[in-house]
């Protein structure tokens, strides 16, 4: 018998205004967004700064955090005191700040028990000639502090070409910045801790500058990290599926559908984001076919069985490691 409580869960995105944001979340994805420069769509999130409501189905009226806390059977096997992932789309009309994120240990100690922030980027679109910043060239804390104090940004920062379809892994301790003209789908730990190293000396509408976090940045930078030279995806696609990233916090894959595709779903949950095309999605437990298209995001709960996708579309999926 179909079980509507195990049907696909469609969170309602939460949007954030950013000094560097634009309007492509409206023009490219069809979202109804607030006025102003909207930089981030928190598409699947239970973080306090953007807790997605559920608008339809058996769980309408709940938030994703409420489901995690009070209906944990939907995420059976997943541990922890909070939903662990956060899926975003970023529209960078202008440059983001040059920044770095802490790991779990540093964040727990210095940021009121927060998770750290490991993340990754799938590039949805990039204007010709766009570059992004991943990595820095200082060998130790003292050298990095001097470069920052002297404003030697060209000596310090590592620029990488950025093209649609590229994928970048951003480990905690990696200095990075998404640059203007870029659209990104970001998969990350559920954390909102960012340490700004440099903000291009820009001013906000009231004339003030955004705060920097130099000492925290110096604490958490991984000085031994090797900077990438390219984001080209070289992993082999197998039956439409490309493994993009495996790490202790999540696994990310690209899934191409041309006709019908069945994905086993043995995980505690599966996050799905349609980045192009359209079709339908149905899980075996509920048996309800949902129309999905570019900009659709949904969760496959635990125990829902296989996910059947039909149509012509590309998705980015993520789940916890088995």
Assess whether 169 and 303 both reside in one domain: no
Beta bridge partners of 131: 161
Residue of 155 and 1 predicted with greater confidence = 155
User: pLDDT band at residue 322, thresholds of 50, 70 and 90?
Assistant: confident
Residue 231 maps to a domain = no
Final residue of a structural domain among 220, 253, 279: 220
Residue 220 has pLDDT above 80, yes or no: yes
Assess whether 191 and 282 both reside in one domain: no
Final residue of a structural domain among 189, 220, 251: 220
Distance of alpha carbon 246 from alpha carbon 228, whole angstroms: 17
202 is annotated as an active-site residue: no
Residue 163 maps to a domain = yes
pLDDT at 32: 97
Residue range 84-91: average pLDDT? 98
User: pLDDT band at residue 1, thresholds of 50, 70 and 90?
Assistant: low
Residue 5 has pLDDT above 90, yes or no: yes
The pTM score is: 0.97
Nearest 10 degrees: Cα torsion 253, 259, 262, 268: 40
Residue 263 maps to a domain = yes
- Catalytic pick from 93, 118, 196, 254? 196
Assess whether 99 and 11 both reside in one domain: yes
Assess whether 100 and 9 both reside in one domain: yes
Question: For the segment 256-286, what is each residue's pLDDT rounded down to a tens digit?
Answer: 999 999 999 999 999 999 999 999 999 999 9
284: left (phi > 0), else alpha (psi -120 to 50), else beta? alpha
pLDDT at 17: 97
Assess whether 134 and 251 both reside in one domain: no
Residue range 297-320: average pLDDT? 97
244: left (phi > 0), else alpha (psi -120 to 50), else beta? alpha
Residue 216 maps to a domain = yes
Residue 250 has pLDDT above 90, yes or no: yes
154 three-state secondary structure: helix
pLDDT at 320: 97
Residue 39: CATH number of its domain? 2.60.120.10
Assess whether 155 and 93 both reside in one domain: yes
Number of domains in the chain: 2
Q: 268: domain range?
A: 241-319
How far from chain centre, in Å, is Cα 171? 13
Distance of alpha carbon 117 from alpha carbon 100, whole angstroms: 9
Residue 126 has pLDDT above 80, yes or no: yes
Residue 302 maps to a domain = yes
Give the contacts of 152 (CB within 8 A, at least 6 positions apart): 146
Assess whether 18 and 76 both reside in one domain: yes
Assess whether 90 and 151 both reside in one domain: yes
Residue 230 maps to a domain = no
User: 208 near 159, Cβ under 8 Å?
Assistant: no
User: pLDDT band at residue 243, thresholds of 50, 70 and 90?
Assistant: very high
Residue of 173 and 2 predicted with greater confidence = 173
pLDDT at 266: 94
Structure-block tokens of residue 139: 């060998």
Distance of alpha carbon 137 from alpha carbon 156, whole angstroms: 5
Final residue of a structural domain among 155, 190, 220: 220
Assess whether 287 and 168 both reside in one domain: no
Q: Percentages helix, strand, coil for the chain, rounded to the nearest 5? A: 15, 40, 45
Assess whether 12 and 125 both reside in one domain: yes
Give the contacts of 247 (CB within 8 A, at least 6 positions apart): 118, 169, 321
Assess whether 212 and 288 both reside in one domain: no
User: What are the φ and ψ backbone dihedral angles of 185, each rounded to 5 degrees?
Assistant: -100, 120
pLDDT at 163: 98
Residue 277 maps to a domain = yes
Question: For the segment 35-51, what is each residue's pLDDT rounded down to a tens digit?
Answer: 999 999 999 999 999 99
Rg (CA), the chain: 20
Distance of alpha carbon 83 from alpha carbon 77, whole angstroms: 12
Give the contacts of 8 (CB within 8 A, at least 6 positions apart): 57, 281, 282, 283, 286, 288, 290, 298, 299, 300, 301, 304
Average pLDDT, the chain: 97
pLDDT at 205: 87
Burial class (CB in 10 A: 0-12, 13-18, 19+), 215: exposed
Residue corresponding to tokens 């967004």: 33
Distance of alpha carbon 307 from alpha carbon 304, whole angstroms: 8
Residue 229 maps to a domain = no
Assess whether 215 and 301 both reside in one domain: no
């Amino acid at each position: 018998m179909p079980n509507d409580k195990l049907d696909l869960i469609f969170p309602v995105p939460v949007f954030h205004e950013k000094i560097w944001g634009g309007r492509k979340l409206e023009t490219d994805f069809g979202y109804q967004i607030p006025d102003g420069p909207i930089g981030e769509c928190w598409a699947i999130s239970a973080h306090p700064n953007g807790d997605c409501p559920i608008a339809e189905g058996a769980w309408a009226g709940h938030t994703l955090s409420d489901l995690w806390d009070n209906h944990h059977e939907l995420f059976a096997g997943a541990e922890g005191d909070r939903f662990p992932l956060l899926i975003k789309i970023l529209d960078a009309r202008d440059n983001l700040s040059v920044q770095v994120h802490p790991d779990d240990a540093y964040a727990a100690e210095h940021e009121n028990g927060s998770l750290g922030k490991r993340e990754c980027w799938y590039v949805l679109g990039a204007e010709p000639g766009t570059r992004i910043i991943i990595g820095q060239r200082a060998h130790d804390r003292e050298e990095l502090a001097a470069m920052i104090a002297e404003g030697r940004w060209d000596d310090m920062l590592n620029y990488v070409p950025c093209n649609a379809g590229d994928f970048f892994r951003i480990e905690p301790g990696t200095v990075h910045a998404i640059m203007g003209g870029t659209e990104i789908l970001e998969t990350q730990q559920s954390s909102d801790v960012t340490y700004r190293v440099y903000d291009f000396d820009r001013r906000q509408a009231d004339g003030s500058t955004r705060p920097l976090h130099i000492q925290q940045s110096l604490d958490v930078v991984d000085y031994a990290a090797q900077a990438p030279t390219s984001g080209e995806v070289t992993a082999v696609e197998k039956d439409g599926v490309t493994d993009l990233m495996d790490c202790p916090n999540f696994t990310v894959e690209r899934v191409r559908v041309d006709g019908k595709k069945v994905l086993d779903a043995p995980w505690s949950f599966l996050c799905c984001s349609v980045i192009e095309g359209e079709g339908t999605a149905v899980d075996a437990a509920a048996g309800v076919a949902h129309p999905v298209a570019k900009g659709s995001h949904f969760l496959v709960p635990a125990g829902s069985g296989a996910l059947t996708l039909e149509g012509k579309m590309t998705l980015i999926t993520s789940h916890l490691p088995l």
